[in-house]
């Protein structure tokens, strides 16, 4: 039997950044919907940065997803 390489699982608040960076426009909308319904314990600033960079690269309006960013900022404040 062949051996399969197992990778250590990573927390959502880390893997979401990779997912955002590789997302298509439709996938980005789905990911941000998921983020808006998920309690994120850490990495808020990096998630916001990845989202803003991706929006800009896709030519989205700056205001797009602002409610999600505000939600992440609220969660960050609650963690302090």
Q: Where are the domains of the chain?
A: 13-79
Which of helix, strand or coil describes residue 7? coil
Query: What's the pLDDT band for 6 if we cut at 50, 70, 90?
Result: confident
Q: How many angstroms separate the CA atoms of 9 and 56, rounded?
A: 30
Q: How many angstroms separate the CA atoms of 78 and 80, rounded?
A: 5
Q: What secondary structure letter does DSSP report for 50?
A: H
Residue owning tokens 């808020």 = 44
Is pTM, for the whole model, over 0.95?
no
pLDDT score for 57: 94
pLDDT score for 62: 86
Quick: pLDDT tens for 26-65.
999 999 999 999 999 999 999 999 999 999 999 999 889 9
pLDDT score for 4: 62
């Amino acid at each position: 039997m062949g051996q399969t390489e197992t990778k250590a699982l990573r927390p959502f608040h880390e893997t979401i950044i990779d997912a955002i960076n590789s997302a298509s426009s439709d996938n980005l909308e789905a990911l941000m919907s998921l983020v808006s319904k998920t309690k994120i314990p850490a990495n808020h600033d990096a998630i916001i940065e990845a989202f803003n960079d991706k929006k800009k690269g896709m030519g989205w309006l700056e205001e797009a997803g602002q409610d999600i960013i505000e939600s992440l900022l609220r969660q960050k404040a609650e963690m302090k």
